[in-house]
Structure 1
């Protein structure tokens, strides 16, 4: 038998070159052994894997179906290896069939990575790109792909915000760049660019996360492009980073069936300690006496209820997921088909999310030169998560915090108790349980995402591909306020939207390897168009609740219907060249020209270039002999990208309809008026980014270190600039202002142990980001975010030059007043025991001029720690994640920690208060009164935390079980432990939504859950 050794970077692959009949002759004490080698994550066969007998050179490689056959000693061992996977030593123990499932090697993860409009070898990358594998995605139950990124990638922050089932997430790649243009990255799903426009929570609804239409079990890899060298190929949509999602494809071989399922239970992570009924009545009576009023509860015995409203709305909730996949094919035709059902009931009564999806990926070799690739995903998502809020402050969660504990849930006759009748209740307050029963706000989203790519090989190194795609989404929201709610006579609203995005990409690709030169070039033209329409209709005053939104005509008062339609188009020319010389010197140059209908007539086209250089020093002669240094690469990049999320038609003078009544007999008359000032020079926001990086590999790749330093300067910020009242308009949309983000990133992956049956890999990532508003386009150098709705009704975020974007703004508390204050005091009406504030400008009075910066919603740094431990058939995966230096405005506390200014139930800690009998100036709370507190540092809290995000213990069943090709069972836990000083439900919160300047606000937000799940995976 003749063998050849072929060297592959970082590995040596043993290939069997020539067989002779004696190769399989049974020598004394030897057995003929056969089996299949697969990847542990997806169960797919690994063609070309090496199987060697012990430490000898005797061995073979697997065929296209992952099968092998060889002769080996009955008591010997087999060493199985494959590029990108951890080698495994398997005792033979006289077995004749040995199947092996290899675990992915995090240090060799994704030897080939997906980049914009193509792929590259990881070692040839000049830009900053990070990846998550299919194995990591499946380590925890997630609703959508973005959740898999949390804590795993340097420079990528995932903001969960409102944790309701199916709720949207926000992602920040190297910080936020925009004031109004959006800071979400561009998503590319199997080649189809999709912008996940989170938008602003309007207090009426929480949108379904568009990414939740993709079943995470179908994903094979996620790449995040961070620097301009990687993102400039996406031009006016690349400023916020690019997330590339690749789904599973069929492999050559016999048909395979895989079934994956998990079931779990969720519980609220923590409850907020509140006053009980006895304490509530005592303290509200004290408040009444302090302000000279009548005590509301002269007879405690009349109020026998002691309701824990949090217990009334929170519940243990199940979560389940089922995926069935069929895959296989021949050299000319491969397929992968999957179906998925996901069901998550919320921990708050009345909330849930379900998703059903089907995915079809086909690859066909039509001829020797022509191939066709098709990707189709169809899904239907349904949620009642918006049922948890009518608006921020009379939703279920907020209502459960403010509701008096003396109020019962129901009356003696079984009907719901009207909380507004309690002596100390606001008439507008709702019974939280009634909100769950009497308010429905369901959303159904149907989505079809598909594209087909036809590729023709013009020459062996030159190909031309044409991609056609469609992303079609139909949403319908049904909102009904039943007559159970106090003051409601029934209110039904139906809102629908229809969005179609069409895509055509025409790409020419060239790859050539000659002598010491390697060239990879792409160029092309793309067209993408999005058409959106919406409608809304409503009706009020229903005699019965049985129809809900199914019969708007049953309401006696019909509202005026509304509708809209919009269209935007993006035309692009793009090109990129990757050049490698002698495997040491690397160059990448890319550019894109975008023409967008959103831009003004003076700026229809934008040009976005980038360039990157890298030098692999480890290939130089002076380092080549350093045994412990396997990789040392220095890289740098510079480029310009844009953000075109400026909305449609904002550069034009738009007309709007106006209704008026003329005379008793003429009725309603419609007129038209110009609603905005045009700006023909309106254009994209521009981000110029510089990146310097260092990639280090030690001890044959057992330790890999990636370091990056970046500076991003975003200019031409989209801003509403005030104009003279005489113009007839309040403002004009204008490009002005700038923001800078700069930071440092480090990621370390290491193989700590690599024994025969014991393997341990660890990863650590750490990222800093300093965000600063450099300039704004308004006089005074600052402007405020929109108001936080009741109970605050004031802005708490400010955009100010020299400060972080959306910094918090308010007063500084200064303890308690010792005596009553009179004229001449900075607070002349204050009483002994009232809150005192600092006169920061020294003008002798407390007013708005005394407000100052009190924190920022974005952290100083984020970090994550991953661990994968394998011992024989057992595996243990751990993910730890946290952040430091962020602040949250606890708007809930503004009501439930205000010392009864609003009669709401209070935090239990309010018992530590100033009283005339105990005038403690160091008390945590002032005297009980009706004085509304100012927005001060008392309500801004440190949001730093360290969390056990996920822990999973798995067991791979022996391959000797004949019913299964592969089988694995596991148990996992999410959010089991959190270390934080934040006093709300969870420090990881953003009630308003990532697309708004009102960041880091906690007001009635859906709490996070602790989850325990049990799962199985079978391959047939």
Structure 2
């Protein structure tokens, strides 16, 4: 028995001596940094292996932990590789962590915070700085085109400084705003043009307020698509959210200087083939002889002038860009300062865009717990724009005439046969200059309350001023009296945000990332306009309005809106397998009626990483497989201002004897205290897959979203004194799928080839309308059409094209139209849906091939299932009722000589043609969007110690476009963000192709 006790005692002693918990404990301190740039890593985890004992680094990357002398410490941090180190009796251990190669460990910017990519349960896509900089762009929206599944970016206005249209998973509203919300370094910005230009006639192209932001400053863009991702923005999240992060400095022993410059030459991608003089005379003669008249020109051979007016409008135009950046800093202070100058001449004479900007980003750590981040952008852009009708004249004016006389002066063509206002003279007699000044600044203060628990406050201001000078010189035919108009619109947006964030890992299996907050936002807008006509001299332009013979009434107004919000989000991850995200936001907006001032917008999402389950371990080729689904509600507050209350407008008149002028006020709208935001309910299910050591990655989503309580004008009895009242009624549905695939096809020491692509399909359907007729029409298109071409009807696509279907030619060469209802006659009841202005298929493909120092990038982009109403064709190619030039292809027409019933065009006639499927044309296209060849110079061989890197490149944009469309370019929608009139090509600014050469320098 004593022997047994002795053996047991020896074993117990050995166990005690070997147990880490009973070994001699010692204090270990140290600093954890990033191996890439030696920056400290606050919040990094330190754990005694095999135990629950752990610690985290403070704001300076320092840690302190008590551990057995023979223990092993495990060091880990988000986005970096985990390493283990033995204590070995050491009291100080400094660790340098290497960044992980696993894309799942990447940090993604989400609303009011960040998240690991592997912890996402919503649908979020990222566009990197490399993608944005791979082609010269005016505004950052263009960098998303074709690169993100489910996102349509249409450069409908290709003029310098023009505004792209961005639609995330389709259009959601009829009368409200369809543009996404932009978050620039934490500050919400909505790209609403302060001019509010909805003129469909001879107005200017709508401008792009966001063109004042320099794309070179951007490091990444996150596109939030489903309700789980966007619900954190509540009443502004229905159209999706784009989060923009700009470049910031990094801690290093030295500062860095980088300089980039490029020069490009642009020219029109497609020139229309118009009739020459002899063909033009022939069709004019037919126009009269077909109806028994004498030929207009008895001897066509005497006319030798053959003018293609396009040659006097289009030009090869230069484009230049210069960017200089200084960045660097220490452990406590980092900086990034950049300046940019961008200049773009337009391919149409007298048009251009210039932008100068400065951005300053500062990060300062005042002590171990408090840091301050500052972001400031100041920019000025000037945009000389063309009037829409100018290009229409270039297409339709008579080739018999010339713009200049023998002395080089403008020809007076107003009294000439087939003449009118000299189009070239009109181009130079009208000027429209828009100047945009923008100051966007914010300061973020962040205080660490405890490990993982922080409080932050953001103060921000966005000040935007748009100044517009429009002048028409003396002698203009369209504007007989010279006139000047000056408009100025100032918008100031203030933001205050208070956030409390908690990010913590509990043991090995639990992670929690939670945020709650309160935000306040106020927007003030001041507008004024002055104009006059009848100036004696043109010398002063818009700078002497007092010299006008007639001064028009001045206009001015002030708008104000306020948004108060409470928000919260919790993201919980268990065992790296199961993910739950709950989000909610309550918004109170001054835009809504008294009975609906507040709205609540919740969402929930779950995800399951199957690749972490034991039953998947045998499938070793699968690196990651995650299934996710979400459902939630978001809102659209872009319903205008003061629409819920009664409003009055001033009127002027005279009364009494003698007559005395007076100003009175009349009501212009009825109050609706129940008016509220539009509600968007969205369901999403998708998966993320990575295989073969992450060489292949696939993301796929199916979504279905319904917008309810649409903003609608409800007709009311005239006895009320009003024709309509604004209410919430009706619904629209969008549904579709998205697929994105990326792969590393080749990866060797000297050669790598990465390719990727995406495709998405979206179907938009109007489910319910407020009007009893279950349909209504968009506004009329001006002369000579003088009718709407878009219809909004239950059961059909939003803003579908509406008109007649053709049925060949009659025996005498006129167009026959189909009798669709079979009543024996063709009238308005035979009109039908002719197509959709929205594509049902979007796709993009990119290839990146690297060999040693060379890189070849190829990017293709396209759309399918879309139509465009070619108003240009209606007026010049197919409507032969006017004395205007035609497309060359109109030579294939019915004539008395051939009487061809299968001719493409009818006979020359004075009969006005109807809006038909002839003008609703296929606008599908595949475009070689960009090709770039670059070379990284071997600077180490040059012996230049001050030079860190140098790259030269040449690129081409829009080099090839494959399409059946008849116009200059299929990617067109003249009316900008107008939700009703869509897919209209009416003298729109054409796209161009560009060849660019440039270089980048990085200095030590």
Instruction: Give 1:301 deviation, angstroms.
Output: 5.6
* Equivalent residue, structure 1, for 2:17: none
CA distance in 1, matches of 2:989, 2:461: 34
* Equivalent residue, structure 2, for 1:228: 227
SS at match of 1:549: helix
Instruction: Give 1:435 deviation, angstroms.
Output: 2.4
CA contact (8 A) 1:107 1:751 kept: no
CA contact (8 A) 2:205 2:974 kept: no
State yes or no: 1:457 paired with 2:448: yes
CA contact (8 A) 1:269 1:1009 kept: yes
State yes or no: 1:933 paired with 2:913: yes
Which consecutive segments of 4 or more residues in structure 1 shift more than 6 A?
A: 44-48, 82-86, 104-107
Q: How many residues align?
A: 912
Instruction: Give 1:525-924 correspondences, 5 Å limit.
Output: 525-663=518-656, 665-818=658-811, 832-924=812-904
CA contact (8 A) 1:356 1:379 kept: yes
CA contact (8 A) 1:899 1:927 kept: no
SS at match of 1:892: helix
Question: Paired residue for 2:927, among 935, 947, 952?
Answer: 947
Question: Paired residue for 1:111, among 101, 106, 112?
Answer: 106
SS at match of 1:865: strand
In 2 relative to 1, CA 898–872 (structure 1 residues): closer, same or farther, beyond 3 Å?
same
State yes or no: 1:477 paired with 2:476: no
* Equivalent residue, structure 1, for 2:125: 130
Instruction: Give 1:304 deviation, angstroms.
Output: 3.5
* Equivalent residue, structure 2, for 1:326: 326
Cα displacement string for residues 660-683 of structure 1 (whole angstroms, at most 9, x for unaligned residues): 122574343110111101110000
Instruction: Give 1:853 deviation, angstroms.
Output: 0.2
CA distance in 2, matches of 1:555, 1:105: 69
Q: Which stretch of the first structure deviates more once superposed, 398-407 or 440-449?
A: 398-407
* Equivalent residue, structure 2, for 1:1016: 999
* Equivalent residue, structure 1, for 2:968: 985
* Equivalent residue, structure 2, for 1:505: 497
CA distance in 2, matches of 1:445, 1:624: 58
In 2 relative to 1, CA 109–183 (structure 1 residues): closer, same or farther, beyond 3 Å?
farther
Q: Which stretch of the first structure deviates more once superposed, 106-115 or 371-380?
A: 106-115
In 2 relative to 1, CA 800–856 (structure 1 residues): closer, same or farther, beyond 3 Å?
same
CA distance in 1, matches of 2:301, 2:407: 20
CA distance in 1, matches of 2:353, 2:105: 33
SS at match of 1:420: coil
CA contact (8 A) 2:751 2:851 kept: yes
Instruction: Give 1:485 deviation, angstroms.
Output: 1.7
* Equivalent residue, structure 2, for 1:416: 410
* Equivalent residue, structure 2, for 1:95: none
CA contact (8 A) 2:925 2:970 kept: yes
Instruction: Give 1:656 deviation, angstroms.
Output: 0.8
Instruction: Give 1:718 deviation, angstroms.
Output: 0.3
Q: Which stretch of the first structure deviates more once superposed, 959-968 or 864-873?
A: 959-968
CA distance in 1, matches of 2:186, 2:39: 25
Cα displacement string for residues 472-504 of structure 1 (whole angstroms, at most 9, x for unaligned residues): 011110000111422523110001111000000
State yes or no: 1:397 paired with 2:391: yes
CA distance in 2, matches of 1:400, 1:933: 22
CA distance in 2, matches of 1:767, 1:588: 26
* Equivalent residue, structure 2, for 1:73: none
SS at match of 2:918: helix
* Equivalent residue, structure 2, for 1:166: 161
Cα displacement string for residues 172-217 of structure 1 (whole angstroms, at most 9, x for unaligned residues): 1000000011111000000000111255542422233121111111
In 2 relative to 1, CA 85–977 (structure 1 residues): closer, same or farther, beyond 3 Å?
farther
SS at match of 1:137: helix
Cα displacement string for residues 203-243 of structure 1 (whole angstroms, at most 9, x for unaligned residues): 42223312111111110000000000000000000000000
CA distance in 1, matches of 2:601, 2:925: 38
SS at match of 1:675: strand
In 2 relative to 1, CA 145–870 (structure 1 residues): closer, same or farther, beyond 3 Å?
same
Instruction: Give 1:196-207 correspondences, 5 Å limit.
Output: 196-198=191-193, 200-202=197-199, 203-207=202-206
CA contact (8 A) 1:252 1:329 kept: yes
Instruction: Give 1:949 deviation, angstroms.
Output: 0.4
Cα displacement string for residues 317-359 of structure 1 (whole angstroms, at most 9, x for unaligned residues): 0011000001111111110000000000000001100000000
CA distance in 1, matches of 2:407, 2:853: 59
CA contact (8 A) 1:890 1:1003 kept: yes
Instruction: Give 1:296 deviation, angstroms.
Output: 3.2
In 2 relative to 1, CA 83–571 (structure 1 residues): closer, same or farther, beyond 3 Å?
closer
Which of the pair has more CA radius of gyration? 2
CA distance in 2, matches of 1:144, 1:46: 32
In 2 relative to 1, CA 406–47 (structure 1 residues): closer, same or farther, beyond 3 Å?
farther
Instruction: Give 1:107 deviation, angstroms.
Output: 8.0
* Equivalent residue, structure 2, for 1:177: 172
* Equivalent residue, structure 2, for 1:999: 982
CA contact (8 A) 1:342 1:356 kept: yes
Instruction: Give 1:42-121 correspondences, 5 Å limit.
Output: 108=103, 111-121=106-116
Instruction: Give 1:555 deviation, angstroms.
Output: 1.6
State yes or no: 1:444 paired with 2:435: yes
| Gaps in structure 1 of 5+ consecutive residues | 1-16, 20-35, 39-43, 49-81, 87-103, 819-831
In 2 relative to 1, CA 303–917 (structure 1 residues): closer, same or farther, beyond 3 Å?
closer
* Equivalent residue, structure 1, for 2:296: 296
* Equivalent residue, structure 1, for 2:187: 192
In 2 relative to 1, CA 713–887 (structure 1 residues): closer, same or farther, beyond 3 Å?
same
CA contact (8 A) 1:434 1:484 kept: no
SS at match of 1:230: helix
In 2 relative to 1, CA 106–906 (structure 1 residues): closer, same or farther, beyond 3 Å?
farther
State yes or no: 1:488 paired with 2:480: yes
CA contact (8 A) 2:105 2:118 kept: no
SS at match of 1:565: strand
CA distance in 2, matches of 1:170, 1:46: 40
In 2 relative to 1, CA 269–383 (structure 1 residues): closer, same or farther, beyond 3 Å?
same
Cα displacement string for residues 681-719 of structure 1 (whole angstroms, at most 9, x for unaligned residues): 000000000000111110111101001000001000001
Instruction: Give 1:140 deviation, angstroms.
Output: 0.3
CA contact (8 A) 1:277 1:405 kept: yes
* Equivalent residue, structure 2, for 1:258: 258
CA contact (8 A) 2:146 2:844 kept: yes
In 2 relative to 1, CA 757–795 (structure 1 residues): closer, same or farther, beyond 3 Å?
same
Question: Paired residue for 1:956, among 936, 952, 962?
Answer: 936
CA distance in 2, matches of 1:652, 1:841: 45
CA contact (8 A) 1:525 1:572 kept: yes
CA contact (8 A) 1:481 1:488 kept: no
| Gaps in structure 2 of 5+ consecutive residues | 1-28, 42-76, 82-98
CA contact (8 A) 2:39 2:251 kept: no
CA contact (8 A) 1:83 1:108 kept: no
CA distance in 2, matches of 1:189, 1:547: 39
SS at match of 1:1016: strand
